Amino acid sequence: MIVGKPLFTTHQIQNRVQELAGRISHDYAKKELLVVGILKGAFMFFSDLVRNIEVPLTLDFIIASSYMKTQSTGEVKVFYDIRGDISESHVLLVEDIVDTGITLNHIRERVIARGPKSLKICSFLDKRERRIVDVPMDYIGFEIPNEFVVGYGLDYENRFRNLPYISIFKKKA
């Protein structure tokens, strides 16, 4: 198993996160946000992002899974969902990576069904060429080519999430 050189270094990631948080703070000026992280993959991006957002916010999580090893199963399971009434909330969903779009589309429809005041989506990475379902995206960290990446929260079989950078992962050299 090979974890390649960083595709995005810690420094590049932190700069980009600050830019995104700046845009979000600007767009939500005078509003209060409910920032919802989609676990597990978004945990690192989520914690960096909320630390840099400058409007008042509350936070919650959705724990969802749709991926087996490096192949998308197309099936989405939700193990934990946002608690309480969200009808007065401006919800910002925070995802690690959008690949086929199946997971995010499923989660987006679930959240919309609960009638939030508004809903926007922020994903750290976007593998646009793999998209099957078109999901409206409001904030994107980086677009990446069709490669399997690990680090900064993203895993292969639950490993490598702790790497503070993003690398391309290959099973063999």
The footprint of ligand 5GP (CB under 6 A) covers 41, 66-67, 72, 95-104, 127, 148-150, 154-156
Collect contacts of 73-76 with beta carbons under 8 A, ≥24 apart.
74/100, 74/102, 76/102, 76/103, 76/106, 76/107
Q: What span, in angstroms and rounded, lies between the C-alpha atoms of 65 and 103? A: 8
The catalytic residue positions are: 99
Handedness of CA 140, 55, 44, 8 (dihedral sign): positive
- Tell me the closest approach of the beta carbon of residue 29 to ligand 5GP, in angstroms: 29
| Closer residue to ligand 5GP (CB): 93 or 104 | 104
| Closer residue to ligand 5GP (CB): 12 or 100 | 100
- Tell me the closest approach of the beta carbon of residue 52 to ligand 5GP, in angstroms: 22
- Tell me the closest approach of the beta carbon of residue 72 to ligand 5GP, in angstroms: 4
| Closer residue to ligand 5GP (CB): 55 or 128 | 128
Q: What span, in angstroms and rounded, lies between the C-alpha atoms of 155 and 65? A: 12
Handedness of CA 88, 92, 95, 100 (dihedral sign): positive
